[in-house]
């Protein structure tokens, strides 16, 4: 989808029709209008597919289309996701386990399916940060509760339903239910519901007040009546659903682009090694330290620019007075949106070589500010990703920890194959991992 949409925009310009009353816009200037902060455009019914009817009214921060209700809920819970509330040690514990596991596999001489291990890392990290314990993906080396498989199987159906008219959705879901694998995936997705429900219940019963996870912070809000228990359960569920796959994809793209570009990989390796000469590779580097590495930051921005985790337009409803886009008046009730995987390739913003991985572009004067405002990785406007601090902790800390201990490579010129079903899911990515042998 992302490739097709990029080609269509190349051929027909910044504004293209992708449905009877739906437009895809690729004009960087339009970002501030479509995702404006004042009188924001509402999310479309695309998002109602991501409600969870099994928990209360089913609405969550992600799926809510009513901007007033959304801003009320965001005011109530937004602080929970602030950086100072997230225990960085959770990411360290998960990184250490990840390093241990890939070290064992490296010693056994196996090639590793990196994407799968990054998924397991991302799910366990959400568990550790949110619920105060990992789920056991990495410990038991398997897809706990089949979460990974279920999301993989379900996303295409959810995506087709989300881009289809509401009246067709029951038919789509009905037919998909006839496919045994998808039926199983729906059942497995119920495991995520149950997991969220059970963890909330257990922590409530045992009053684990010493547990510092974000869930406890949500409980405190519930006690103060700022939110209700359904909100707590829903946040737990949406952290699992919205926070694990997206982060795993981002991590995968960082590793992929580094392996695909050995010069950049080597430059990053030199930056890391020379900065931490006196610190043992087994020790954790803090996020505040990691963020000071300019080339690491540039690599993360560049990889997630070229391969954003979400690869469809983020659709919004044109308001009653219409919207002016690319010199055209767009009437009310039309849907418009920008696809991160399209705008990120815009040559007027990112340069003539926008389709190439070149982290150096982020180090040029004013570049981070000039280009950064057109990145849509984490969305834009009033609906930007609430979990970006969690994601950033993982995106800085894990690659840094891995590169300090291991060398990783894939077959030369291996292509980046993804399946764009809203989440732009990477296909299997086998890599060879070896321990670095310099004195540590
Ligand atoms: C690299 C990782 C991530 C990426 C690329 C990502 C991407 C996004 C994007 C693009 C949006 C906006 C969607 C739209 O406007 O249609 C969004 C919203 C959201 N994300 Fe993330 N996300 C990531 C990680 C996380 C994590 C770790 C969590 C939770 C713990 C999370 C929870 C949410 C929620 C709840 C929303 C809805 C926010 C709102 O509407 O106010 N995300 N994310």
Give Dmax over CA atoms of the chain in angstroms.
66
Sign of the C-alpha dihedral computed for residues 428, 429, 434 and 439 taken in this order: negative
Residues lining ligand 1, judged by CB closer than 6 Å? 61-62, 74, 238-239, 242-243, 246-247, 250, 309-310, 314, 377-379, 383, 385-387, 390-391
Distance from C-alpha of 215 to C-alpha of 208, rounded to nearest angstrom: 10
Distance from C-alpha of 34 to C-alpha of 8, rounded to nearest angstrom: 20
Q: How confident is the model at residue 373 (pLDDT cuts 50, 70, 90)?
A: very high
pLDDT for 65 equals 93
Q: Is residue 322 domain-resident?
A: no
pLDDT for 106 equals 92
Residue position matching structure tokens 């990989």? 265
| Ordered alpha helix ranges (H), 17-87 | 31-34, 67-77
Whether the predicted pLDDT of 63 surpasses 80: yes
Whether the predicted pLDDT of 156 surpasses 70: yes
- Other Cβ atoms less than 10 A from the Cβ of 178: the count is 8
Q: Is residue 341 domain-resident?
A: no
Closest CA to 126 of 236, 1, 266: 236
Judge residue 367's burial from the number of C-beta atoms within 10 Å of its C-beta, 0-12 exposed, 13-18 middle, 19 or more buried: middle
Q: Is residue 365 domain-resident?
A: no
Q: Is residue 367 domain-resident?
A: no
Kindly calculate the radius of gyration of the chain based on its CA atoms and give it in whole angstroms. Answer: 22
Mutate to test the pocket of ligand 1, among 213, 344, 385, 386 (most ligand atoms within 8 A of CB): 385
Distance from C-alpha of 226 to C-alpha of 241, rounded to nearest angstrom: 23
Mutate to test the pocket of ligand 1, among 242, 305, 384 (most ligand atoms within 8 A of CB): 242
Q: How many domains, in total, are found in the chain?
A: 1
128 and 394 Cβ atoms separated by less than 8 Å: no
305 and 377 Cβ atoms separated by less than 8 Å: yes
35 alpha carbon to ligand 1 midpoint, in Å? Answer: 15
Distance from C-alpha of 92 to C-alpha of 129, rounded to nearest angstrom: 11
Q: Is residue 99 domain-resident?
A: yes
Residue of minimum CA distance from atom 13 in ligand 1: 379
Whether the predicted pLDDT of 440 surpasses 50: no
Q: Is residue 221 domain-resident?
A: yes
60 alpha carbon to ligand 1 midpoint, in Å? Answer: 12
275-327 per-position pLDDT tens digit = 998 888 888 999 999 999 999 999 999 999 999 999 999 999 999 999 999 99
pLDDT for 206 equals 67
Give pTM, 2 decimals: 0.94
143 and 120 Cβ atoms separated by less than 8 Å: yes
- Mean pLDDT calculated for residue range 106-133: 93
Distance from C-alpha of 35 to C-alpha of 287, rounded to nearest angstrom: 29
pLDDT for 267 equals 98
- Mean pLDDT calculated for residue range 47-73: 85
Per-residue DSSP letter, 337? E
Q: Is residue 336 domain-resident?
A: no
pLDDT for 226 equals 87
Q: DSSP string covering 238-269, please? A: HHHHHHHHHHHHHHHHHHHHHHH-HHHHHHHH
Whether the predicted pLDDT of 190 surpasses 80: no
pLDDT for 150 equals 82
CATH code of the domain containing 404: 1.10.630.10
Whether the predicted pLDDT of 208 surpasses 60: no
Candidate from 5-9, 189-193, 341-345 with smallest mean pLDDT: 189-193
Q: Check the annotation: does 299 bind a ligand.
A: no
Closest CA to 74 of 242, 227, 236: 227
Closest CA to 269 of 255, 282, 283: 255
Q: For residue 316, what are the β-bridge partners? A: 43, 336
139 alpha carbon to ligand 1 midpoint, in Å? Answer: 27
Kindly report the average pLDDT of the chain as a whole number.
90
429 and 307 Cβ atoms separated by less than 8 Å: no
Residue range of the domain that includes 136: 35-307+376-435
pLDDT for 246 equals 96
Q: Is residue 429 domain-resident?
A: yes
Distance from C-alpha of 50 to C-alpha of 189, rounded to nearest angstrom: 12
Across 2-115, the runs of DSSP E, i.e. the strands, are: 15-19, 22-25, 112-113
231-284 per-position pLDDT tens digit = 888 888 888 888 999 999 999 999 999 999 999 999 999 999 999 988 888 889
């Amino acid at each position: 989808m992302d490739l097709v949409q990029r080609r269509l925009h190349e051929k027909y310009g910044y504004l293209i029709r992708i449905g009877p009353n739906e437009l895809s816009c690729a004009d960087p200037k339009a970002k501030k209008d479509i995702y404006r902060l004042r009188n924001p455009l509402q999310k479309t019914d695309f998002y109602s597919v991501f409600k969870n009817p099994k928990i209360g009214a089913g609405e969550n921060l992600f799926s809510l289309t009513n901007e007033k209700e959304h801003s009320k809920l965001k005011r109530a819970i937004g602080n929970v996701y602030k950086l100072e509330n997230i225990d960085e040690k959770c990411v360290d514990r998960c990184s250490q386990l990840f390093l241990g596991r890939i070290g064992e596999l490296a010693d056994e001489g196996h090639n590793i399916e990196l994407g799968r291990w990054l998924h397991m890392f991302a799910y366990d990290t959400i568990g550790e940060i949110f619920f105060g314990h990992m789920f056991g993906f990495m410990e038991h080396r398997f897809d706990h509760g089949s979460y990974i498989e279920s999301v993989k199987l379900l996303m295409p159906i959810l995506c087709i339903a989300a881009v289809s008219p509401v009246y067709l959705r029951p038919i789509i879901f009905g037919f998909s239910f006839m496919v045994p694998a998808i039926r199983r995936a729906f059942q497995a997705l119920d495991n995520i519901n149950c997991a969220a429900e059970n963890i909330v219940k257990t922590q409530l019963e045992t009053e684990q007040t010493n547990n510092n996870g974000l869930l406890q912070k949500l409980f405190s809000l519930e006690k103060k009546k700022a939110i209700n228990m359904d909100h707590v359960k829903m946040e737990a569920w949406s952290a699992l659903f919205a926070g694990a796959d997206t982060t795993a994809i981002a991590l995968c793209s960082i590793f992929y682009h580094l392996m695909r570009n050995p010069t950049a990989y080597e430059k990053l390796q030199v930056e890391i090694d020379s900065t931490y000469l006196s610190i043992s590779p087994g020790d954790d580097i803090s996020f505040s330290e990691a963020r000071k590495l300019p080339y690491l930051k540039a690599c993360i921005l560049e990889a997630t620019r070229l391969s954003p985790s979400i690869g469809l337009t983020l659709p919004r409803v044109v308001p009653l007075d219409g919207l002016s886009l690319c010199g055209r008046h767009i009437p009310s009730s039309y849907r418009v949106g920008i696809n991160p995987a399209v705008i990120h390739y815009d040559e007027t913003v990112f340069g003539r070589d926008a389709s190439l991985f070149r982290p150096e572009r982020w180090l040029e004067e004013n570049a981070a500010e000039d280009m950064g405002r057109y990145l849509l990785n984490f969305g834009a406007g009033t609906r930007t990703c609430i979990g970006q601090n969690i994601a950033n902790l993982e995106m800085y800390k894990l690659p840094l920890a891995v590169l300090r201990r291991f060398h990783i490579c894939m077959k030369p010129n291996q292509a980046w194959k993804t399946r764009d079903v809203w989440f732009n899911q990477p296909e299997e990515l086998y890599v060879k991992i070896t321990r670095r042998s310099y004195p540590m």
